[in-house]
Chains A and B, each alone.
Chain A
Amino acid sequence: MSTSVKTSVGEPATTPATAPRKRPTRAPARTRSVVRHLALVAFLAVVVAFWALPMLWLVTAPFDAHPGLDVSWPDWTLDNFRKLSENPYAFSSLKNSVYLAGGTMLGVTVLAALAAYSLSRVRIPGRNGILYGLLLLSSIVTGTAAMVPIFQLMFQLNLIDDRSGVVLVLTGGLLPAAIFILKDFMDATPKSYEESARVFGARPTQVLRHVVMPIVRPGLATIAVWALVNVWSDFLTAYILLRDPAKIPAGVVMYTFYSEGGQANLPLISAFSLVYALPVVALYLFVNRRYGFRFHGGIKS
């Protein structure tokens, strides 16, 4: 005891008193950081394997001369795409998907923009009630919960097997959330531009077209992309409302390709899934580069 007092007080040549206590913990700390690093790498490897393994097939099988259900190094060929082009339903289904997605995107973006702008700028009687109702509706009445009455409604309206009917249903379903998001967006843009435009004598339509539109374009783009991806991926609505094989979109054709009895036609399925997936991947890359896939600030619906 006396020696320790002596060293700590009287001998500055040796290391300070804290050092002997610190040293034994440092070595484990280093191994701990190595262990931690290894654990991180292992975790990330598991993550990559878990997410990538099911998706790999989409990259290898379309180019394989003899695609199986497993992932394997392809016996390179483009023959599967030739087979795809000979299938009568593959191309027409993609056209139908373009029609449904394009029509819905247009309808949702235009109608939501008009409604959101009016709700943002004008105190329409019952405005808060409308917004509250829209927010609730968008989460409650989903395509799955309402599939029976929607089928029934379209049956009564004689719109079964009608692509425009599908566009109407999808537009109605996406509108509440679109209006809500766009209204938020418009609330955040200053009114002063519109006010000054009006001071200079612009009519409301001119204000809308030349002042408001350019400002809210990013918001409109968000809604357009969101609606597009939603409808492009849709399965259920088209599945219950369309019967004619010439009218069904890619999502439903994909399902019939693999769910119909007999041996699955893997060359066809693999090539088709890649072609059907590519627009979504391209949009993803575009949006990711342009805006980044991040939430900004608070998160709403």
Chain B
Amino acid sequence: MTVTSRASDPPPAHPPGPPPTRPPTRPSSRPSVDAAGLGRRRAAVLVAPALVLVTAFLVVPAVWTVYLGATDYRLTGIQAANPQFVGLENFREALVDPDFRNSLWLTVLFVLGSAIIGQTVAGFALAWTLRGVPKLVRSGIEMLVLLAWILPSSIVAFLWVAYLSGDGGTLNTLLHTPGTEWLLEHPMASIIVFNTWRGTAFSMLLFSAALGAVPPSQLESARLAGAGTFAQLRDVVLPHIRGHVLTNTLLISLWTFNDFSPYLLTAGGPNHASETLPVFIYNKALYGGQLGYGSAISFIMLVINLVIALFYVRLLRERR
């Protein structure tokens, strides 16, 4: 969730990898390998604490899901004290578990609806239209959209619970639909709209930056040649921002896939109707106590994350 990351090209005097032969400018006692004179050993000592924490709290848990997912571990009972190795039993169970398949399908809907369609379209539409708008209006709208993105999730969740409430919520007043419990009657639609509202800021920022890189002269000549807005977008803008579209899609899909805030709105209910995978894992493993089964589902999530991340890393390398 980087807000600012400056990836300016390194100055030509200092290419990213040191050249194989350095000019012998420094007659120091030892062949120094770095600018600060740290030396490899001290550098390793400085890197170590970070790596220890990352290993303990990211690598170990990731590996542990593989082991836990192959057991019938439970939070309480006999299996808590003495878990049995069950091999692929949890995965076999998942395949026939209607709740899991339902959850997987809802997650696909959630990512497609709120990230790939909702946030991308809204983010691009905002970035495109706000270019030609007076600066004050532009920064006001950007601030609104950004606030929705950075406010703590439990606050925005409650704001939407209030907004969508059937007991005097603002939306019902506006639409003249008194008493409609949106979160109970249309839970998936509600969390999809909510997440579009919540996350569009990132796509907006990214597309604004991308559109800034489209040469205005090309847009101008397209317009003079009589190209409509759609033709301009397709023939001039899209070729320039294709990479950004892909980056944006991968990142917001990954984040939306791992988003836990549906839990704060509906807790997965009513009756599993909005139980996306993260909520499913929470309800099964930590609320229901089936740690082994929950770990197997977590492992599936990690594999999906890995696939998305590999695409993303490959994309980054190609663009460098």
Interface centre among B5, B47, B209 (most CB of A within 10 A): B5
Q: B-facing mask of A225-237, CB < 8 A → 1, else 0?
A: 1100110110110
Q: Is A191 an interface residue (CB 8 A)?
A: yes
Q: Is B64 an interface residue (CB 8 A)?
A: yes
* Bound-state Cα–Cα, A300 to B95, Å: 36
Whether A148 lies near B285 (C-beta < 8 A) is yes
- A116 to B: closest C-beta gap in Å: 9
Chain A residue total in the interface (Cβ 8 A): 113
Residue of A nearest to B291 (CB): A148
* CB pairs A–B below 8 angstroms (19 shown): A54-B170, A69-B168, A69-B170, A114-B49, A115-B47, A122-B34, A141-B58, A141-B305, A144-B259, A145-B278, A146-B58, A153-B64, A187-B16, A192-B13, A254-B154, A294-B208, A295-B3, A299-B2, A300-B316
Which of A1-9, A79-87, A171-179 contacts the other chain?
A171-179
Whether B163 lies near A296 (C-beta < 8 A) is no
- Chain A residue numbers with a CB within 8 Å of B224 are none
Interface centre among A168, A254, A298 (most CB of B within 10 A): A298
Q: Is B39 an interface residue (CB 8 A)?
A: yes
Q: Is B88 an interface residue (CB 8 A)?
A: no
Indicate which residue in B47, B267, B295, B310 contacts A118 across the interface (CB closer than 8 Å).
Answer: B47
Whether B4 lies near A198 (C-beta < 8 A) is no
Indicate which residue in A69, A121, A177 contacts B38 across the interface (CB closer than 8 Å).
Answer: A121
Contact status of A293 and B146, CB under 8 A, knowing A55-B159, A179-B50, A273-B155: yes
Indicate which residue in A55, A240, A254 contacts B144 across the interface (CB closer than 8 Å).
Answer: A55
- B8 to A: closest C-beta gap in Å: 5
* Bound-state Cα–Cα, A23 to B134, Å: 31
Whether A48 lies near B144 (C-beta < 8 A) is yes
* Bound-state Cα–Cα, A153 to B291, Å: 12
- B4 to A: closest C-beta gap in Å: 6
Whether B301 lies near A230 (C-beta < 8 A) is no
Whether B53 lies near A204 (C-beta < 8 A) is no
Whether B260 lies near A143 (C-beta < 8 A) is yes
Q: Is A284 an interface residue (CB 8 A)?
A: yes
**CB neighbors of B among A133-153 (8 A):** 134-137, 139-153
Whether A195 lies near B10 (C-beta < 8 A) is no
Q: Is A91 an interface residue (CB 8 A)?
A: no
Q: Is B117 an interface residue (CB 8 A)?
A: no
Whether B36 lies near A194 (C-beta < 8 A) is yes
Q: Is B231 an interface residue (CB 8 A)?
A: no
* Bound-state Cα–Cα, A169 to B171, Å: 39
Whether B162 lies near A150 (C-beta < 8 A) is no
- Chain B residue numbers with a CB within 8 Å of A277 are 151-152, 155
Which of B98-106, B135-143, B215-223 contacts the other chain?
B135-143
* Bound-state Cα–Cα, A212 to B26, Å: 20
- A158 to B: closest C-beta gap in Å: 15
Chain B contact surface mostly: helix
Whether A255 lies near B129 (C-beta < 8 A) is no
Whether B14 lies near A190 (C-beta < 8 A) is yes
Interface centre among A123, A212, A230 (most CB of B within 10 A): A123
Contact status of A297 and B7, CB under 8 A, knowing A145-B301, A251-B154: yes
Residue of B nearest to A251 (CB): B154
- A34 to B: closest C-beta gap in Å: 15
Whether B33 lies near A144 (C-beta < 8 A) is no
Interface residues of A, Cβ cutoff 8 Å to B:
40, 43-44, 47-48, 50-58, 68-71, 107, 111-112, 114-115, 117-119, 121-125, 130, 132, 134-137, 139-153, 168-169, 171-173, 175-177, 179, 181, 184-185, 187-188, 190-192, 194-195, 198-199, 204, 207-208, 212, 222, 225-226, 229-230, 232-233, 235-236, 240, 250-252, 254-255, 258-259, 269, 273, 276-277, 280-281, 284, 287-288, 291, 293-301
Whether B170 lies near A188 (C-beta < 8 A) is no
Contact status of A57 and B302, CB under 8 A, knowing A168-B53, A254-B152: no
Q: Is B214 an interface residue (CB 8 A)?
A: no
Whether A171 lies near B53 (C-beta < 8 A) is yes
Q: Is B150 an interface residue (CB 8 A)?
A: yes
Whether A291 lies near B151 (C-beta < 8 A) is no
- B10 to A: closest C-beta gap in Å: 6
Whether A121 lies near B169 (C-beta < 8 A) is no
Whether B129 lies near A40 (C-beta < 8 A) is yes
- Chain B residue numbers with a CB within 8 Å of A297 are 6-8
Whether B46 lies near A250 (C-beta < 8 A) is no
Contact status of A204 and B68, CB under 8 A, knowing A123-B18, A144-B259: no
Indicate which residue in B34, B125, B137, B161 contacts A123 across the interface (CB closer than 8 Å).
Answer: B34
Contact status of A301 and B46, CB under 8 A, knowing A51-B145, A153-B60: no
Whether A190 lies near B208 (C-beta < 8 A) is no
Contact status of A44 and B65, CB under 8 A, knowing A111-B49, A236-B260, A294-B205: no
Whether B4 lies near A294 (C-beta < 8 A) is yes
- A276 to B: closest C-beta gap in Å: 6
- Chain A residue numbers with a CB within 8 Å of B233 are none
Whether B62 lies near A140 (C-beta < 8 A) is yes
* Bound-state Cα–Cα, A298 to B78, Å: 54
7 new A-B contacts at CB < 8 Å, known A54-B197, A57-B159: A58-B159, A121-B35, A123-B18, A124-B44, A148-B298, A171-B53, A284-B143
- A294 to B: closest C-beta gap in Å: 7
Whether B133 lies near A140 (C-beta < 8 A) is no
- A161 to B: closest C-beta gap in Å: 14
Contact status of A144 and B163, CB under 8 A, knowing A70-B168, A111-B50, A198-B36: no
* Bound-state Cα–Cα, A184 to B320, Å: 13
Whether B152 lies near A70 (C-beta < 8 A) is no
Q: Is B96 an interface residue (CB 8 A)?
A: no
* Bound-state Cα–Cα, A114 to B49, Å: 9
